[in-house]
Amino acid sequence: MKWHVCFLVAFSTIALAQPAWAQDPDAMICLHCTDMVSDTTSFPGLVATGRRMVLPGEHRRLAFVGIDHHVRYAEWGPTGWSIEVVDAATHAGGLAMDFDDLGRPIVCYHDSTGGIVVGKRIASGWVVQTIFPALGVLGPTSLAHAPGMSGIACATTYSSALLYLQQVGDNPWTIETVTPVQPGSGDPSLLLENGARAIAWRDGTPGVLRLAASQSGGPTWQIQLVDGEPGAGIWTSLIGHPGDYGIAYGEAPDHQLRYAHPIPGGWTVDLVDGLGARMAGLACGAVDLGNGASGPVGIAYYDKGAGDLDYAQGGGPAWAHTWLDAQGDVGATLACGIGPPGSQDTVSIVYAARPSGDLFYYERLSALTGVPHETSRPAMHLTWRRDAAHAGGTLRFVMPEQGTARVTILDAQGRRIAEPLARELGAGPADVAWDGRDASGQAVAAGVYFARVSVPGASAGARGIVLH
């Protein structure tokens, strides 16, 4: 497998391997939105891309909100990234994106009054229409397209309701109330397939995770409680198909990344990341690598403790983890999609850096039959031993193969304070000594600390005590 990463806040066209700064500062990500928006598989929020791309090149098309709060569209071409303004008038929020039957991009978002706006790209440019003005939508929207039909899920603050908006062909948009919701609800994630509709969302504040589903021709929506722990359901990302849905989401109190999938009689929840001092999320985006929620699943997510972009892959209780980008505070907002189908899938991730507001694109190619599971290789172990010669002790692990290794020290609150190792190592045992000092060179206070080692395809953690 191979990953590619590039800047998007550059000139209107840039080379993939040559990052550059934007001439137009408004083409950067909106810094003012990073703490008040979220994202789903269909990507409402700061950045957006298609969920299931079916035509070649769709995976390198995305939308984002600039610091002027205007929606922009970026597309990769022979000369690099081309960026164009979708809507130069609307103060936009809650951005979502998909593609129509012809592979043309569609975006939706809300304006400053809470009205829902839809933009469609045609040969002559973008056609923008406010389909429901002053609806009271303040948070994320979720856009999904199925053959001949587009749908939007959103929550309105005016009536505390989860709404579903739909357009069949070129007919006018219709609107229906899915269910009443608790105040503060949001983070909807919508799927459409063969007339079946499903919406995962966070119900209330701090919230619980629920799923609403409606079969083709069905008169009502069926509501299920998926995870009833307070704080569950943040940044929901719904994947799969009718009868085989899966939901990746954040859980706020314990800073966990979770994945829920159905079992007979209910749902089972996997803890993907967030054990001990680990702080996962809350941003995440999931894709179904095996074309189903019960098969291999990939989840891109924000590592809040280390400020990295991480990736989990697997299913059931076994998840393999790796870090994708560790250059700074990256991935606090992200969008994730997959396609086009074939012998190889392309996982596409669009994410932001803070505080710079830079926008990045990352993609991964892997054969559908070659999806690694955590059980496919020996478990990785990290030991942390006190060492009289080093105040911070010595960490030992075994490199499964040659590659880049990174050792990070976190305090009891999960904050990254030191990085004793970040370089390429050969396969075999590795010892890393830590001098007990933080990134600024100051000796850390005595107490409990956590260490994490990340290598290609695996990671491990250990707990240690620093004495002076």
Q: Which domains does the chain have, with CATH numbers?
A: 2-373 (2.120.10.70), 383-466 (2.60.40.4070)
Residue type, 284: C
Q: Report whether the peptide linkage leading into residue 180 is cis, meaning its omega lies within 30 degrees of zero.
A: no
Distance CA 87, CA 68 (A): 11
Q: For residues 38 and 335, what is the distance between their CA atoms, to the nearest angstrom? A: 10
For residues 208 and 252, is the Cβ–Cβ distance under 8 A? Answer: no
> What b-and-e string marks burial along 188-214, b requiring 16 or more CB atoms within 10 Å of the CB?
bbbbbeeebbbbbbbbbeebbbbbbbb
CA angle 227–233–239, rounded 5-degree value: 90
Q: In whole angstroms, how far apart are CA 384 and each of 37, 75, 373, 418?
A: 39, 47, 26, 15
Give the DSSP letter of residue 443. B
C-beta atoms surrounding 466 within 10 Å:
18
In sequence order, what are the residues at sequence separation of 6 or more whose Cβ sits closer than 8 angstroms to the Cβ of residue 128?
86, 87, 90, 117, 118, 119
Query: From first to last of its 468 residues, what are the pLDDT tens digits of the chain?
Result: 445 566 554 322 222 222 222 334 565 554 433 333 333 333 334 788 888 888 888 888 999 988 888 999 999 888 888 999 999 999 999 999 999 999 999 999 999 999 999 999 998 899 999 999 999 999 999 999 999 999 999 999 989 999 999 999 999 999 999 999 999 999 999 999 888 999 999 999 989 999 999 986 666 899 999 999 899 999 999 999 888 899 999 999 888 999 998 888 788 888 898 877 788 888 999 998 876 666 789 999 999 888 889 999 887 667 888 888 887 788 888 999 998 765 567 899 999 887 777 888 888 875 443 333 333 334 467 788 877 778 888 888 888 888 888 888 877 655 678 889 888 888 888 999 999 998 888 999 888 787 878 776 666 767 677 876
Half-sphere exposure of 174 (CA within 13 A, CB side): 10
Q: What pLDDT is recorded for position 136?
A: 94
Read off the pTM. Answer: 0.74
Angle at 410 between CA 404 and CA 414, to 5 degrees: 120
